[in-house]
A and B are shown apart, each in its own frame.
Chain A
Amino acid sequence: EIVLTQSPVTLSLSPGERATLSCRASQSVSNYLAWYQQKPGQAPRLLIYDASNRATGIPARFSGSGSGTDFTLTISSLEPEDFAVYYCQQRSNWPRTFGQGTRVEIK
């Protein structure tokens, strides 16, 4: 099973600041990595797929990078609606696995 480790667990930032979230895989997943955003009481939403492609309707302030085992989600300038939990997920191997999540909270 591929284990995805996200860091930090919690990120405390102010609106307008840059957020950098990390996801590390226990073995290479090539570029088969996605990022999801989840707000309280809502279903997750696909943000980034294939490591660096924005999903439909996702603002340009969200960007993804990386390949192999190390990946990054960057939010260039936090908007109030961006404070949420973010998960990475791989589909390189079965079972599909998610990271444990990074909470981006208002400082």
Chain B
Amino acid sequence: EVQVLESGGGLEQPGGSLRLSCAASGFTFSTYGMSWVRQAPGKGLEWVSTIGGGGSSVYYADSVKGRFTISRDNSKNTLYLQMKSVRAEDTAVYYCAQGGYNLWFDAWGQGTLVTVSS
């Protein structure tokens, strides 16, 4: 069974940093692109970033470019999102999703809440 499980969310002050992790199982992790999608409270879905299976192809939404870095460790079946210079508008549930590179978002985690507030 395909599973992805996010962790690392919490409360952070504006300008601070946070690293999200996503542990994957049930599929050959290195052969799948992986993505982060977020959802602000009461709002719709917003794609954040995607990384190819090998890790060399990365894509970002303009809203996070230069502040967030997506990466992966295929030896640990884990996806990361390093968040720097966070802003109040980054407050959202962050979902890890299998796919997004050349496939659809086919398996989603339960999400981890990031709150940016002083």
Which residue numbers of A lie inside 8 Å of B, CB to CB? 34, 36, 38, 43-46, 49, 55, 87, 89, 91, 94-101
Contacts A95-B59, A95-B61 given; does A46 touch B104 at CB 8 Å: yes
B21-29, B44-52, B82-90: which one contacts chain A? B44-52
- Of chain B, the residue at the smallest CB distance from A32 is B104
Whether the Cβ atoms of B44 and A98 lie closer than 8 Å is yes
Enumerate 17 A-B pairs (CB-CB under 8 Å) in ascending A order: A34-B104, A34-B105, A43-B95, A43-B108, A44-B45, A46-B105, A46-B106, A87-B44, A89-B45, A89-B47, A91-B100, A91-B104, A95-B59, A95-B62, A96-B59, A97-B47, A99-B44
Give the Cβ gap from A53 to chain B, nearest Cβ, in Å. 10
Residues of B within 8 A of A (CB): 35, 37, 44-47, 50, 59, 61-62, 95, 100, 102, 104-106, 108-111
Q: Which 10 A-B pairs have the closest CB atoms?
A: A43-B108, A96-B47, A98-B45, A49-B104, A101-B44, A34-B104, A100-B44, A94-B59, A95-B61, A46-B106
Which label, helix, strand, loop or mixed, suits the secondary structure of the B interface?
loop
Chain B residues, CB < 8 A from A99: 44
A-B contact count (CB 8 A): 50
- Verify A36–B47 contact, CB threshold 8 A: no
Interface centre among A46, A55, A99 (most CB of B within 10 A): A46
Minimum CB distance partner of B106 in chain A = A46
Q: Are A44 and B47 in contact (CB under 8 A)?
A: no
- Residue numbers in B under 8 Å from A44 (CB-CB): 37, 45, 95, 105, 108
A98 touches B109 (CB 8 A): no
Q: By the criterion CB–CB under 8 Å, are B106 and A87 in contact?
A: no
Give the distance to chain B from A1, nearest Cβ to Cβ, in Å. 8
Q: How far is the CA of A45 from the CA of B45 in the complex (A)?
A: 12
Residue of A nearest to B35 (CB): A96
20 more contacts with CB within 8 A, not counting A91-B102, A95-B61, A96-B47, are A34-B104, A34-B105, A36-B105, A38-B45, A43-B95, A43-B108, A43-B111, A44-B45, A46-B104, A46-B106, A87-B44, A89-B45, A89-B104, A89-B105, A94-B59, A95-B47, A95-B62, A96-B35, A96-B59, A96-B100
